[in-house]
Amino acid sequence: MAEDSVDPGIEEASDGIVELYPTRDDLGTRLDRYVADQLPDLSRSTVQGLIESGRVRVDGQQRKPKFRMTPGEVVSVEIPPPQIDEILPDAIPLAVVYEDADVIVVDKPAGMVVHPAPGHARGTLANALLAHAPGISVGGSLRPGIVHRLDKDTSGLIVAAKTDRGRMALVSQWERRSVEKTYLALVCGLIEDEEATIDAPVGRDPKNRQRMAVARSGRPAVTHFRVVERFADTTLLEVSIETGRTHQIRVHLAFIGHPIVGDRVYGRSRLADPHLERQFLHASALGFQLPNGEALRLKAPLPHDLQAVLEELRAGSASFAPSG
């Protein structure tokens, strides 16, 4: 998920449980309102339904919606996976980089959500894949086997399985961490080291449940980078990841004091004279083995918006300023 990830929002743990931690500001707040405020992707009625069905617990105890919060309590919320009975095909043009009978690799544009979800039932990459290849059949259903993700505003290469054979081959490589995943990222500030590794666990930020953070309770995450080009106050990096935690690259680079340019969640800087409306992060290369054992390595050039930023920086016509 960036990276192999999704947009900021609800992240389901392996057991589907999200933990929330009330603070002094939440003292006396009703349980249903508190959970709805902390998890805005869930409607108030959905939250009340989860509470009534016992999927919301306070310190392990089932409580009523009107239960009042106290700092120091732990609220656990069991979020069932979204029930999407059918993915409908959408005839959206795709930049197909590679395709055979088992797999397809697409250069995803920024702004496209990968999977249907509440609020994004149509117009996603999955919808577009079904229109492009109506014969897709994975797990006995007409669904593409998407084994990794990119954030909505991250562009670049993403692979999906068209058959069970393709999905099994991809999943096994992701589990072995043998897939090559390379990104280009423009970060704030000048990085002196030519290359480095960030090895720090990533998990949900306990202070802001809509963000990820480096946290001791998080899952292991390893990011490597090398400097490609330095500008006046920014650095272009080539980044590779061993793991695929939610927002991993964005979190790790912000953690070392060099957030990605244009990142509204983890960064505090912006282009002073930009054409950039998203984070400067692009999945530029992807390497894996096809089901027949053949090695495949693909590249995707920078899209026009990111290339324009680099040209401005090289010409000295762009700089950075604090965003507040």
> What Cα–Cα distance (Å) separates residue 155 from each residue in 92, 198, 237, 249, 306?
16, 23, 16, 14, 10
* Known catalytic membership, residue 151: yes
User: How far apart are alpha carbons 168 and 207 in whole angstroms?
Assistant: 38
Dihedral angle sign, alpha carbons of residues 199, 202, 206, 207? positive
CA angle 85, 159, 302 (to 5 degrees): 125
Q: Which of 4, 32, 107, 151 is catalytic?
A: 151
CA distances from 8 to 15, 39, 87, 251, 275 (A): 19, 11, 22, 12, 23
CA distance 241 to 252: 11
Residues identified as active-site: 151
